[in-house]
Amino acid sequence: MTTYIIIYGLVGAALTASVIKSKEKTKKAFKIAFKAFMKSLPSLLAILGIVGLILGVLPPETIESMVGAEAGFTATIVAAILGAVTLIPSLIAFPLAGSLLRSGATVMTISAFVTTLVMVGFVTAPMEIKILGKKFTVLRNVLGFIAALVIAFVMGMIL
């Protein structure tokens, strides 16, 4: 809810200022926005479908059984991959991670899951490629995945 208020407030204020300063330029901004929107619409819709499919096939309970207590180092790798390919809102992801931790998963596994979840966007990659380019996207996500593994390892050592 706050998200919506912030975005709409910000854009509303910017739009008002824009209209006051120049109607012409505002019209142009709308045109640019519309074109860009139509261009990314297919990949946006595809992302929604993939997110739905992944969360439908892999509900939180399934994830729990995959990275649970006794799985060891394999669990860390599985967790990192799960985090990379899923797109779970933090309001669901952190409670899930917390309950996994309490039920016996290691800190390394949980931090691998959380870090790749937020740093690597496999599902959003098609859209990122369309908007920011293939090289940028691949580099950012691959490096992010490697970094996430390192972070998980360090956190497992320290905590």
Partner 1 sequence: MKKTMKRWVFPIIIVLIFASLALFSANTAERSLNVTFDYLKEMAIIMPPVFLLMGLIEVWVPKNKIEKWLGRGSRIKGGILSVALGTLPAGPLYVAFPIAASLLKKGASVTNMVLFLGAWAALKIPQIMVEVEFLGVAFAGLRFVLTLTALIIIGLLMELILKRQTDQDWLPKTENENQ
**CB under 8 A: which stretch of 67-75, 76-84, 151-159 binds partner 1?**
151-159
Q: Is there binding between residue 156 and partner 1 (CB under 8 A)?
A: no
> Binding to partner 1 by residue 52, rule CB under 8 A?
yes
Positions 11 through 40 that interact with partner 1 (CB under 8 A): 11-12, 14-15, 18, 21, 25-26, 28-37, 39-40
Asked if residues 119 and 140 have their Cβ atoms less than 8 Å apart, the reply is no
Please report whether residue 127 would count as binding partner 1 according to CB under 8 A: yes
Helix/strand/coil percent split, the chain, to 5 = 85, 0, 15
Amino acid at 78: V
User: What is the three-class DSSP state of 86?
Assistant: coil
Tokens 């967790």 belong to 79
Stretch that binds partner 1, among 63-71, 74-82, 128-136 (CB under 8 A): 128-136
Q: Return the closest-CA partner of residue 121 out of 65, 51, 66.
A: 51
Which 67-106 positions form the footprint of partner 1 (CB under 8 A)? Answer: 87, 89-91, 94-95, 97-98, 101
Closer residue to partner 1, CB minimum distance, 26 or 77: 26
Amino acid at 56: G
Q: Which of 23, 59, 73, 104 binds partner 1 (CB under 8 A)?
A: 59
Contacts of 96 (CB under 8 A, 6+ apart): 60, 63, 64, 88
